[in-house]
Structure 1
Amino acid sequence: MATRTLEDALNIIELLRKKYSLGVSELSKELKLNKNKVFRILTTLELKGIVELNPETGKYKLGMNLIKLEDAYIKSQDFIKVARPVLRSLRKEINETIYMAIQHKKDVIYIYEEPARKGVVVNSRLAQRFKAHKTAAGKVLRKAKKEIGFPMEKTILPEEEIIEIASIVRDEFYNPIAAISVIAPIHRVNQGKEKIIEEKLISSAEEITELLAPAFSLD
């Protein structure tokens, strides 16, 4: 019974992640669960700060404590510690915002950021989820599962006036574990700078991959 209740709670959290805001009746219908059971689970999750109730609409959304849990998970990833000096060096070389992202199901989550030291910067993606197929980071992670080496992907979002260029980091078994990307305003990335970014991204990806191999082998 406890296992089933936990599974139901996780399904509620996952559904709220997708739909953002739902009431008891909507959750009950979507998950085919009794309304009273849904309400009891929501009450427990609300006490723990995992969900929040909007008293005006009577609907629930994910709470701040879930964000803290996700942030704690991100910080627990050892490969970020290994990659950090390389990413900082890359940011200093090109002076644009650098990210590391991981894939989770059909999304990518940006788990580390080295912001550009310029007056015009893009909105931060740190700890945010995006559909993988809409980002260079997501596209290159999928591509890297089928290709060898360090492939590149580029995504231009004219409506946001930004460009993202990404490559991947591999573990000791040569599996892609994260993407590293540069995100910058389009007007700052001409053809010449784009080529420089691609070269330095691949160089940084190779360096992090080499550093990670002994780190993983010690586990």
Structure 2
Amino acid sequence: MRRNPDVSPTVVGRVLDVLDAFSSERPVLTLSELSRRAGLPLSTAHRLVRELTARGALERDESGGYRVGLWLWEIASLAPHGTGLREAALPFLEDVYEATHQNVQLAVLDGAEVVYVERISGRDAIRIQTRVGGRLPAHVTGVGRVLLAFAPPQVQEDALAAPLKRYSERTISSADELRRVLADVRRDGYAISEGQIEPDAVSVAAPVYGRQDTVVAAISIVAPADATDPRTVVPAVRAAARGISRALGAPRARTPFDGVRSEPP
């Protein structure tokens, strides 16, 4: 939950608490579960759920459970990092997928987390935790390291000051180590992340630039570590990222060479 316990709940806050009760692990909830997970009296939850269902923000299934409705998806598609970015990126993501048949992803930064806005995955691709609309801490993902490396200095410092959750023995858990990794990403223009979540997976990621020549997203390929030399994948990932940047109108993507920022955060 993202509720602030120091702030008294408003009607809007209660509505958001109801919506925030859903997760990828719990996409369908009963009314009593919504009441408990949102921290609301059953009568209040019932009233809010009834109104949200009437507006299409929630849908009720045959078993009586509730799930997020299509109306919210329509609203979410209006987000700045929504449809326009995905439409520009999809042809390039599809090209990379056809060349590799591995997981190909597009993500944006939200604080110290990445949000995945598109993913293409084949039946034989390595299984990973990500999903469209899902979140992961930025420090454990290739796309997250790219996005943090080129984020404003204060965003970087906030992420470095926060606890770094461990997912595997190889997960970066030291702020000093993460700072060095981010410096390498700025120098190289790409990130290679191996075994940070799934021990048998490697991610290669590169930045996507927008009209103001700032990094607005990142793309990555996630493949089996034991069958992939990540450096052979770097050119394809960077070429796709450059193509998306050009489609978004980034001035740097129209120049012959794609330099990278090298100043420290």
Structures share a fold, TM > 0.5?
Answer: yes
2:38, 2:15 → 1: CA distance? 11
Q: Report which of the two has the higher share of strand.
A: 1
**Unpaired runs of at least 5, structure 2:** 1-9, 154-182, 252-265
Tell me the CA shift for residue 107 of structure 1: 3.7
Q: Report which of the two has the higher share of helix.
A: 1
User: Residue 213 of structure 2: which of 165, 171, 174 is its match?
Assistant: 174
2:24, 2:96 → 1: CA distance? 34
Cα RMSD over matched residues? 3.8
2:61, 2:36 → 1: CA distance? 14
1:15, 1:85 → 2: CA distance? 34
2:62, 2:112 → 1: CA distance? 28
2:18, 2:125 → 1: CA distance? 36
User: Residue 50 of structure 1: which of 44, 58, 71 is its match?
Assistant: 58
140-149 vs 45-54, which moves further: 45-54
Q: Residue type of the partner of 1:43? A: R
Aligned length: 200
Contact in 2 for aligned 1:17/1:62 (Cα 8 Å): no
Mapping of 1:26-175 within 5 angstroms? 27-28=38-39, 36-47=43-54, 48=56, 50=58, 62-65=67-70, 68-69=73-74, 72=77, 76-116=82-122, 120-123=124-127, 125-133=130-138, 134-145=140-151, 146=153, 150-156=189-195, 159=198, 161-175=200-214
Identity, % of aligned positions: 12
2:239 is equivalent to residue 203 of structure 1: yes
Contact in 2 for aligned 1:71/1:127 (Cα 8 Å): no
Q: Residue type of the partner of 2:124? A: V
With over 3 angstroms needed to count, the CA separation of the structure-2 counterparts of 1:157 and 1:83, relative to structure 1, is same
1:14-72 alpha-carbon deviations (Å, 9 max, x no partner): 2444994644255336xxxx65333311232344362659989xxx7643547744774
Contact in 2 for aligned 1:101/1:178 (Cα 8 Å): yes
2:117, 2:250 → 1: CA distance? 22
With over 3 angstroms needed to count, the CA separation of the structure-2 counterparts of 1:126 and 1:177, relative to structure 1, is same
Q: Residue type of the partner of 2:218? A: A
Contact in 1 for aligned 2:18/2:34 (Cα 8 Å): no
2:87, 2:57 → 1: CA distance? 29
Tell me the CA shift for residue 179 of structure 1: 1.3
Q: Find the counterpart in structure 1 of residue 175 from structure 2.
A: none
Tell me the CA shift for residue 169 of structure 1: 0.5
1:93-139 alpha-carbon deviations (Å, 9 max, x no partner): 444332112234444332223445xx731237441413223322223
Tell me the CA shift for residue 195 of structure 1: 0.8
**Unpaired runs of at least 5, structure 1:** none
State the secondary structure of the residue aligned to 1:213.
coil
174-183 vs 136-145, which moves further: 136-145
State the secondary structure of the residue aligned to 2:248.
helix
Contact in 1 for aligned 2:21/2:37 (Cα 8 Å): no
Contact in 2 for aligned 1:28/1:35 (Cα 8 Å): no
Question: What TM-score results when the alignment is normalised by the length of structure 2?
Answer: 0.59
Tell me the CA shift for residue 162 of structure 1: 2.0
With over 3 angstroms needed to count, the CA separation of the structure-2 counterparts of 1:53 and 1:8, relative to structure 1, is farther
1:184, 1:70 → 2: CA distance? 33
Question: What TM-score results when the alignment is normalised by the length of structure 1?
Answer: 0.68
